[in-house]
Amino acid sequence: MPDRRLDPRLPHRLATLVRGPNWRRALIVRRILAAVLVCAAAVLALTPPAAAARAPVLVTAHELTAGVTVRAADVAVRRWPADLVPAGALADPVSAEGHVLVGAARAGEALTDRRLVGVGPAPAPGTAAVPLRLADAAVAALLAPGERVDVVTAGDQGDHPAVLAENATVLAVLAEDPRVKGRLVLVELPSGPATRAAAAALSGGVAVTLR
């Protein structure tokens, strides 16, 4: 019978290691544990993470200036992680098309109901949005959505200015149209002053003062 020491097999070698000194057995256990941990890490690294819930979000396709009317080409739908979607975010291009953008937007910004005039919650009862064309474009350039202004007119005689509305909220400042004199500003007013301001705006004699 051949001597096993001259031709050791794996089971014989393992048995020899196990019957060896304590330090040898401890070394074997540590090496086995290390190998198991390496294999577990490799499995975790190669396993794709569970897909996070995602939701469609309407974003700007390119930079937009304040007061522009949103077109289909100005927006795109992207899928964002659900926990990053802002409140009131729009998801359908149809919901934004034709509405006026309140404030400038960078490319890729999410559009919410608060960023567009006429989208989202209805105006407060008893109020209305009034477009005012300001003859002085420099004054319009000083305005921004959310600011408060007083709407004034020169009056019938031209020398007795009258305040048509106080503390009106600027909703949007539309981009300047070179074909039309003046710049259009959209303000929110109570129904009574809104009617007077709209009528006065027809004569072109409306201005605003900043608060």
Extents of the domains making up the chain: 4-46, 54-117, 127-210
- What local confidence, expressed as pLDDT, does residue 209 receive? 85
Structural class in CATH, domain 54-117: alpha beta
Q: Give the C-alpha separation, 202 to 42, whole Å.
A: 74
Whether pLDDT at 21 is above 70: no
Q: Give the C-alpha separation, 80 to 92, whole Å.
A: 14
- The answer to whether the predicted template modeling score (pTM) of the entire model surpasses 0.85 is no
What mean pLDDT do residues 58-65 have? 91
Q: How far is CA 43 from CA 39, 50, 51, 52, in A?
A: 6, 14, 17, 20
CB neighbour class for 105 (10 Å; exposed up to 12, middle 13-18, buried from 19):
buried
Length of the chain: 211
User: Which of the four pLDDT bands, split at 50, 70 and 90, describes residue 23?
Assistant: low
Least confident segment among 30-39, 70-79, 157-166: 157-166
Least confident segment among 11-25, 69-83, 119-133: 11-25
Residue 78 pairs in a beta bridge with 57
What mean pLDDT do residues 37-63 have? 80
What mean pLDDT do residues 100-115 have? 84
168, 115 contact by CB (below 8 A)? no
Q: Tokens 């031709």 sit at which residue? A: 7
Q: Give the C-alpha separation, 146 to 171, whole Å.
A: 6
Q: Give the C-alpha separation, 38 to 40, whole Å.
A: 5
